[in-house]
């Protein structure tokens, strides 16, 4: 059936496939599905040489300026990430961690793992109370939920191996933003207003840092962060030792001791970021390069792509019942394997070769029925919560080097606790470890061994920074925040680009959906699946739930002439691309 287009040039569902269900009536093909998000300040931009796209237009400009001064994509990624710690505090950070995927101009690829680590006093039973019962408060909302931060070490490792300009020039823009201040943009003003009256209430240092004597900043008001500026100065002048040793480390460890946290100065001094080989999927002639464990993103997406390669998705129609059915069934199987097998590779060995093989995908396809949902059973596995509050940014330089970075504090503003005197927010990433050994139940707890807390271990993640190439040429840089939805958001952007040949902004704006094995429900963005398609899917045995926006996939595509096309996701109010 013919492809339709949404208002604002969003490509959307064409209509059903007759062999699927008569319930998907031909009249449905004429129904326009409204976009999941209004197109606001974020907009597509094109440039011949270099591009940065992030959740903060201010931070994107910091990365652009570094490349304008002779830096490469690694340098720009570090400058952008440091600036995001100032201008996008809900997820931008020096107190958290994440992953970086790098593709060189000659096609070689590598990754930097700077995921947080458990402190040396961590143990599998650490999230239980005095009675031995699991405690969600300890797991997610106490200083025991803070992992040893990895961002500064990860950036330092990337710079030492692949950077081009001096370290201090990369941190200086963030120092200036924090010390001199910046005009608070609309999205940050709204976000901080909620945090001041909510998450920050129990942390006086947080209220002091991010408000005017308890009053939230309004859009356009100038916000200065002097304590954070001094911490950034120490990082600028002393590299990673400016964070992991000396005054900053002392202040962080002091706050841990005061509030019952576990991180010591030794934990900080012993943190190590790692370079790891990427995961690469081969899909319809494209290379899809992503992150290996302790991120589950690359493995899960590879498994999904391998399954979906056996179907003609373009013929099914974007977000048609058959398309949603096939994609959901691939998601269901990959998320089950994620829960069963994946964790920190330094502590447990998952059968990655099997999970990512074409033969295994062919075996999984045999169990996918053409017109019926596969049930998910709690006895097989149960998924636990992972926060939606992360951020992603994409960079391409003039030489064609590409960098995809996803990093996080876990929940929005992490724990909500600013380190007194140091000015940065602490993560609550320990919440991504399983809650209690052996306890897997219908409430969302999971107790399998692969992701239990242990000293020096990195918690499992869903972050999926990704780079797409074909025939030796860079095609796209993508990624997203969104907790468990990250993998499925990135998957759908990739499918939109490869199977549906969408322009990158359409690929980013198109409505998205999510399934993660359990709960056994398809969540989808408002108006993202037509009512008749919902009816058809329900007749196949699916439960569906309409919800809010899913992810923010700030992406870059390179066209056939080499022009970089930046696509900020308008689901992020302050997003923007900076370029030349």
Separation between Cα atoms, residue 242 and residue 147, nearest integer Å: 18
Q: Among the ranges 23-32, 385-394, 435-444, 485-494, which has the highest mean pLDDT value? A: 485-494
pLDDT-based confidence at 54, cuts 50/70/90?
very high
Mean pLDDT of the 234-257 span? 98
User: What is the C-alpha end-to-end distance of the chain, expressed in Å?
Assistant: 40
Separation between Cα atoms, residue 488 and residue 334, nearest integer Å: 10
The radius of gyration of the chain's CA atoms, rounded to the nearest angstrom, is 23
In 3D space, the residue among 17, 29, 36, 4 whose CA is nearest the CA of residue 512 turns out to be 36
Separation between Cα atoms, residue 128 and residue 437, nearest integer Å: 10
Q: What strand order describes the sheet that includes 402-408?
A: 274-276, 109-114, 97-103, 402-408, 390-396, 51-54, 576-579
Question: Percentages helix, strand, coil for the chain, rounded to the nearest 5?
Answer: 35, 15, 45
Average pLDDT, the chain: 90
pLDDT tens digits for range 179-223 = 999 999 999 999 999 999 899 999 999 999 999 999 999 999 999
Mean pLDDT of the 140-161 span? 97
**pLDDT at position 303, please?**
98
- Does 1 score more than 80 pLDDT? no
Q: Across the chain, which distance is largest between two alpha carbons, in Å?
A: 69
**pLDDT at position 84, please?**
98
Angle, CA of 482, 485 and 487, to the nearest 5° = 105
Tokens of 161: 């191996």
- Does 32 score more than 50 pLDDT? no
| Catalytic residue flag (residue 390) | yes
Tokens of 562: 């080499």
**Secondary structure (3-state) at 122:** coil
Mean pLDDT of the 310-319 span? 98
CB 382 within 8 A of CB 336: no
**pLDDT at position 201, please?**
93
**pLDDT at position 562, please?**
96
Mean pLDDT of the 232-248 span? 98
Separation between Cα atoms, residue 113 and residue 458, nearest integer Å: 10
pLDDT-based confidence at 11, cuts 50/70/90?
very low
- Does 327 score more than 90 pLDDT? yes
**pLDDT at position 474, please?**
98
Separation between Cα atoms, residue 124 and residue 436, nearest integer Å: 7
Mean pLDDT of the 345-362 span? 96
Rounded to 5 degrees, φ, ψ at 193 are: -60, -40
Separation between Cα atoms, residue 83 and residue 79, nearest integer Å: 6
- Does 34 score more than 90 pLDDT? no
Separation between Cα atoms, residue 352 and residue 343, nearest integer Å: 11
* In the chain, % of residues over pLDDT 70: 89
Per the DSSP assignment, residues forming a β-bridge with 474 are 469
CB 445 within 8 A of CB 466: no
**pLDDT at position 446, please?**
53
Tokens of 295: 């991120």
Per the DSSP assignment, residues forming a β-bridge with 576 are 54
- Does 385 score more than 90 pLDDT? no
pLDDT tens digits for range 404-420 = 999 999 999 999 999 99
Flag the least confident range among 29-38, 225-234, 516-525.
Answer: 29-38
Separation between Cα atoms, residue 25 and residue 564, nearest integer Å: 40
pTM: 0.91
The residue from 390, 408, 466, 485 that is catalytic is 390
**pLDDT at position 15, please?**
29
pLDDT tens digits for range 478-518 = 999 988 899 999 999 999 999 999 999 999 999 999 999 88
Q: Collect all residues with Cβ–Cβ distance below 8 Å to 18 and sequence separation of at least 6.
A: none
Q: Dihedral of the CA atoms 180, 182, 184, 186 (nearest 10)?
A: -170
């Amino acid at each position: 059936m013919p492809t339709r287009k949404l208002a604002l040039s969003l490509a959307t569902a064409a209509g059903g496939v007759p062999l699927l269900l008569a319930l998907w009536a031909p009249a449905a093909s004429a129904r326009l599905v409204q976009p999941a998000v209004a197109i606001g300040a974020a907009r597509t931009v094109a440039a011949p040489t270099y591009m940065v796209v992030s959740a903060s237009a201010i931070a994107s400009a910091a990365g652009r300026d570094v490349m304008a001064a002779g830096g490469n994509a690694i340098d720009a990624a570090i400058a952008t990430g440091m600036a995001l710690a100032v201008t996008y505090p809900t997820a931008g950070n020096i107190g958290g961690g994440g992953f970086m995927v790098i593709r060189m101009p000659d096609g070689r690829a590598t990754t930097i793992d700077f995921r947080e680590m458990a402190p040396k006093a961590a143990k599998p039973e650490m999230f239980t109370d005095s009675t031995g019962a699991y405690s969600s408060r300890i797991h997610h909302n106490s200083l025991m939920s803070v992992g040893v931060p990895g961002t500064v070490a990860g950036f330092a490792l990337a710079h030492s191996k692949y950077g081009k300009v001096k370290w201090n020039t990369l941190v200086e823009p963030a120092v200036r933003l924090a010390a001199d201040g910046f005009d608070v943009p609309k999205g940050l003003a709204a976000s901080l207003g909620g945090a001041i009256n909510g998450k920050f209430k129990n942390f006086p240092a947080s209220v002091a840092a991010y408000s005017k004597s308890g009053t939230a900043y309004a859009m356009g008001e100038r916000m200065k962060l002097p304590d954070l500026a001094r911490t950034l100065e120490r990082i600028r002048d002393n590299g990673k030792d400016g964070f992991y040793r000396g005054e900053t480390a002392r202040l962080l460890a002091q706050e841990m001791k005061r509030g019952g946290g576990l991180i010591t100065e030794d934990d900080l001094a012993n943190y190590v970021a790692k370079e790891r080989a990427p995961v690469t999927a081969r899909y319809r002639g494209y290379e899809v390069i992503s992150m290996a464990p302790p991120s589950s993103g690359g493995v899960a997406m590879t498994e999904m792509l391998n399954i979906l390669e056996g179907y003609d998705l373009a013929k099914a129609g974007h977000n048609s019942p058959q398309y949603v059915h096939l994609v959901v069934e691939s998601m269901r199987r990959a998320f089950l394997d994620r829960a069963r097998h994946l964790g920190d590779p330094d502590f447990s060995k998952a059968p990655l070769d099997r999970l990512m093989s074409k033969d295994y995908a062919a075996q999984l396809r045999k169990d996918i029925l053409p017109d019926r949902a596969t049930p998910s059973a709690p006895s097989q596995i149960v998924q636990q919560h992972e926060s939606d509050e992360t951020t992603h940014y994409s960079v391409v330089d003039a030489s064609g080097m590409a960098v995809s970075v996803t990093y996080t504090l876990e929940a929005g503003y992490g724990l909500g606790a600013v380190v007194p005197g140091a000015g940065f927010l602490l993560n609550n990433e320990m919440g991504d470890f399983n809650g209690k050994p052996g306890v897997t139940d219908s409430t969302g707890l999971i107790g399998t061994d692969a992701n239990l807390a242990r000293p020096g271990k990195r918690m499992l993640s869903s972050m999926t920074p990704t780079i797409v190439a074909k025939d030796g040429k860079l095609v796209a840089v993508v990624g997203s925040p969104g907790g468990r939805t990250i993998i499925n958001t990135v998957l759908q952007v990739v499918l939109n680009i490869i199977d549906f040949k969408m322009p990158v902004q359409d690929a980013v704006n198109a409505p998205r959906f999510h399934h993660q094995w359990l709960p056994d429900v398809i969540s989808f963005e408002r108006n993202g699946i037509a009512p008749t398609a919902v009816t058809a899917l329900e007749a196949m045995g699916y439960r569906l739930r309409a919800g809010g926006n899913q992810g923010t996939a700030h992406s870059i595509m390179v066209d056939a002439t080499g022009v970089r096309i930046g696509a900020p996701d308008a689901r992020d109010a302050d997003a923007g691309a900076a370029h030349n």
